[in-house]
């Protein structure tokens, strides 16, 4: 016995799941076998009238199926068989002659929820950690243990699709409302109430596994075929809009759910297993699982090699109340850290505070916070014009304009206004951490903490280590980033750091393509169909062309002709077109910030003859150059490894996750093919393209 133990009391078998040697419960083959053996033993115990299945782990019922198991699948057939085996375990629960209650407290996801769905009843704790969901599609697979079959039957297609397709979770309240839970009980009294529940149903098996709630809507949409057809049609439309057809799993899940509601359970499960097999070997699935693994690795990574402990951070300071400063202050306050936000003018503070409040307003609107938390959190931001109160701050993030002189002045001021223990971070996107720290008495406490815009939505933070930055400071910055629920990536202090450095040649290349006569819409469209969240010109308009040009100069200084900017981008900048911020960039924008066509004078700066270019050719130009720069970064050890680099690009630029990252894309496209093409371009480019040695010399794949 490794995972399950049984305790019989008052004619009830308390079945505890407590996987040895693991922090959380996971479903794997061994656990499945063990559970089935245990159930068949229990059948013989005549005095038992009911079973309560619960978890021995804190705040986790079952976290899901073992991902290693899914990742190890190499063929569709193997995947299908695995699914069937898992379904067998679920069936053993469903067809057990005695009623089973799942007493759920904490995380109940994926395979965990499928186990719970196979039980007769679900009694759910009211604790805030309790969440139920089927996140499989986020990993490129579908629920394959009967979840796609049992859930829609139980709660109706509408609610089931909401849970399966988006991979989002529901809390105890919503679980009760949708019919997924039969009762919500105080978490302290979970087992007592589960027992009481068994008594209430008089120890009877559930007859009908249908519990559709929602009154008239349910009648119109869930309980008749016409309504369901409408639900499926809308769901499909929505999935295609969300995934742009790049992710096959949600569509497969949709088919399985549809099928489940019109055939027998046995048939439906068979189809689920088949589709699970199909999905389990797609490159998208493998890439998403890879990302999951790296993400887990980053979560555990302290960011330094020494065993130094991060400092506790209780109070934050932000200097500069612009879009970034306001965003960072919001993030800290949202995570319950008081923030002192300094700027030199009231107007700036008002703007910073109001932009932070807008994010809180949205959170309130979406009920992510209640009105009490809303008031408590936003008021944690204290705007100020002076340094009073900075003495007691633990961690200060500077977010003033990108100007070395001004930043150095701010750091000098900070040094004389903070305690010896305070860590000083800069949110620079382009200035060297070492230059900022050079005249300070304590350069070891200076670190880069590069957030991306908009702060509350972009998951990545580059933690930039200067030459003198101490391990403790890096580890503290990494820990703080995690506390903010962001992904920290430790990178070397080098121009553009990681993300912007790799992004810059891509943006430059887009400019040169346009200069050669390719229309900017075609370029943006090609990037979109590649899977980027927006095209390069749209991106530059969003970021601000002035900022792009400023960063471009920094890169040019560092990488010379290799980082040449197109004259188009420069001309647009000189024409005073800064992008969305002044409603005119490469595109024009109306007052509602909607795009209103391409500006006439943009055309003036591009080649007079329109050049047609196939989308895949545009994509090669854009993304091969990106791969090339990524290789240079690996070569210079800007970041730990290829996996981390790919995470940086996915979380920092929205590089399509289904492709697994820039270097994973290179592997799939063919490293030598890319190298050969780049070498050809190098000779034509007059120094603009310089092929990374890593790319030409090894020719090896980045992922083994």
CA-based nearest residue to 634, from 624, 644, 623: 644
- Measured CA to CA, the distance from residue 165 to residue 235 in angstroms comes to 8
List of residues contacting other proteins (CB under 8 A)? 338, 340, 346-347, 349-350, 353-354, 357, 375-376, 379-380, 382-384, 388-389, 391-392
Cβ-proximal residues to 271 (8 Å cutoff; 6+ apart), any chain:
255, 256, 259, 260, 263
At residue 103, φ and ψ (nearest 5 deg) are: -100, 100
Residue 204 to residue 440: CA distance in whole angstroms: 74
- Cβ distance to other proteins smaller for residue 344 or 467: 344
To the query of whether residue 187 is one of the catalytic residues in this protein, the response is no
CA atoms 461, 466, 469, 472: torsion sign: positive
- CA torsion 228-232-235-236 (nearest 10°) is -170
What DSSP designation does 420 have?
Answer: T
Q: Minimum Å distance from CB 482 to other proteins?
A: 23
Rounded Cα gap, residues 572 and 223, in angstroms: 58
CA angle 43/46/51 to nearest 5° reads 60
Q: Taking the CA of residue 684 as centre, how many other CA atoms within 13 Å lie in the half-sphere pointing to its CB? A: 5
**Smallest gap from residue 391 Cβ to other proteins (A):** 5
3-state SS track over 496-529: CCCHHHHHHHHHHHHHHHHHCCCCHHHHHHHHHH
Instruction: Report the C-alpha gap between 318 and 288 in whole angstroms.
Output: 35
At 450 the three-state DSSP class reads strand
Q: ∠ CA 634-635-639 to the nearest 5 degrees?
A: 35
Residues 90, 407: Cα–Cα separation, whole Å: 61
Residue closer to other proteins (CB basis): 413 or 434: 413
Tell me the pairing of strands 446-451 and 460-465: antiparallel
Residue of 450, 456, 553, 690 marked active site = 450
Nearest approach, Cβ of 632 to other proteins (angstroms)? 46
List active site positions. Answer: 450
């Amino acid at each position: 016995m490794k995972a399950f133990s049984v305790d019989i009391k008052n004619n009830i078998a308390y079945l505890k799941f407590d996987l040895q040697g693991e922090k959380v419960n996971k479903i794997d083959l061994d656990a499945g076998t063990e559970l089935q053996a245990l159930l068949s033993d229990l059948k013989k115990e005549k005095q038992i009238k009911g079973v309560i299945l619960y978890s021995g782990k804190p705040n986790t019922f079952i976290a899901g199926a073992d991902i290693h198991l899914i990742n190890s699948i190499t063929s569709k057939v193997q995947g299908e068989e695995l699914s069937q085996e898992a379904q067998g375990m679920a069936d053993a629960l469903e067809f057990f002659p005695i009623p089973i209650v799942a007493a759920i407290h904490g995380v109940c996801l994926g395979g965990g929820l499928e186990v719970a769905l196979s039980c007769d009843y679900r009694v759910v704790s009211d604790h805030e950690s309790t969440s139920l969901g089927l996140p499989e599609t986020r990993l490129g697979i579908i629920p394959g243990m009967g979840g796609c079959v049992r859930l829609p039957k139980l709660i109706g297609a509408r609610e089931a699709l909401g849970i399966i397709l988006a991979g989002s979770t529901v809390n105890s309240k919503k679980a009760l409302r949708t019919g997924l839970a039969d009762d919500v009980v105080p978490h302290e009294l979970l087992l007592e109430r589960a027992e009481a529940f068994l008594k209430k149903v008089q120890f009877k098996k559930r007859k009908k596994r249908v519990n559709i709630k929602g009154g008239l809507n349910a009648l119109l949409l869930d309980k008749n075929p016409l309504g369901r057809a409408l639900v499926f049609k809308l769901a499909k439309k929505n999935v295609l809009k969300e995934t742009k057809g790049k992710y096959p799993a949600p569509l497969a899940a949709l088919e399985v759910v549809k099928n489940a509601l019109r055939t027998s359970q046995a048939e439906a499960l068979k189809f689920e297993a088949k589709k699970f097999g199909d999905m389990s070997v797609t490159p998208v699935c493998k890439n998403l699982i890879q990302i999951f693994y790296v993400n887990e690795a980053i979560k555990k990574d302290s960011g330094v090699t020494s065993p130094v402990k991060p400092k506790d951070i209780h109070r934050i300071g932000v200097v500069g109340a612009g879009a970034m400063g306001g965003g960072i202050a919001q993030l800290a306050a949202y995570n319950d850290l008081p923030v002192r936000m300094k700027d030199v003018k009231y107007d700036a503070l008002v703007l910073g505070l109001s932009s932070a409040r807008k994010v809180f307003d949205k959170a309130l609107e979406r009920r992510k916070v209640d009105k009490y938390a809303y008031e408590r959190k936003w008021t944690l931001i204290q705007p100020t014009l002076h340094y009073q109160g900075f003495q007691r701050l633990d961690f200060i993030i500077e977010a003033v304009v990108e100007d070395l002189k001004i930043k150095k002045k701010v750091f000098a001021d900070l040094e004389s206004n903070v305690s010896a223990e305070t860590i000083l971070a800069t949110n620079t996107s382009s200035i060297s951490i070492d230059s900022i720290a050079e005249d300070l008495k304590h350069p070891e406490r200076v670190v880069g903490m590069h957030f991306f815009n908009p702060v509350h939505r972009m998951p990545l933070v580059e933690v930039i280590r200067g030459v003198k930055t101490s391990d403790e400071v890096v580890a503290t910055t990494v820990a703080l980033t995690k506390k903010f629920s962001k992904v920290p990536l430790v990178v070397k202090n080098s121009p553009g750091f990681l993300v912007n450095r790799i992004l810059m040649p891509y943006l430059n290349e887009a400019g040169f393509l346009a200069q050669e006569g390719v229309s900017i819409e075609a370029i943006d469209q090609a990037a979109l169909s590649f899977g980027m969240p927006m095209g390069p010109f749209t991106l530059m308009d969003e970021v601000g062309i002035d900022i792009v040009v400023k960063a471009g100069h920094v890169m040019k200084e560092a990488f010379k002709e290799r980082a040449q900017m197109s004259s188009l981008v420069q001309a647009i900048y000189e024409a005073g077109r800064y992008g969305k911020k002044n409603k005119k960039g490469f595109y024009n924008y109306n007052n509602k910030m909607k795009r209103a066509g391409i500006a006439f004078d943009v055309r003036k700066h591009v080649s007079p003859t329109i050049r047609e270019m196939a989308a895949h050719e545009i994509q090669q130009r854009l993304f091969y150059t990106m791969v090339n720069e990524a290789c240079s970064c690996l070569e210079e050890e800007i970041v730990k490894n290829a996996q981390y680099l790919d995470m940086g690009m996915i979380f920092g630029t929205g590089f399509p996750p289904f492709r697994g990252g820039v270097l994973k894309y290179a592997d799939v496209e063919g490293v030598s093919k890319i190298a050969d093409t780049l070498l050809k371009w190098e000779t034509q480019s007059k120094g603009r393209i310089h092929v990374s040695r890593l790319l030409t010399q090894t020719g090896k794949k980045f992922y083994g």
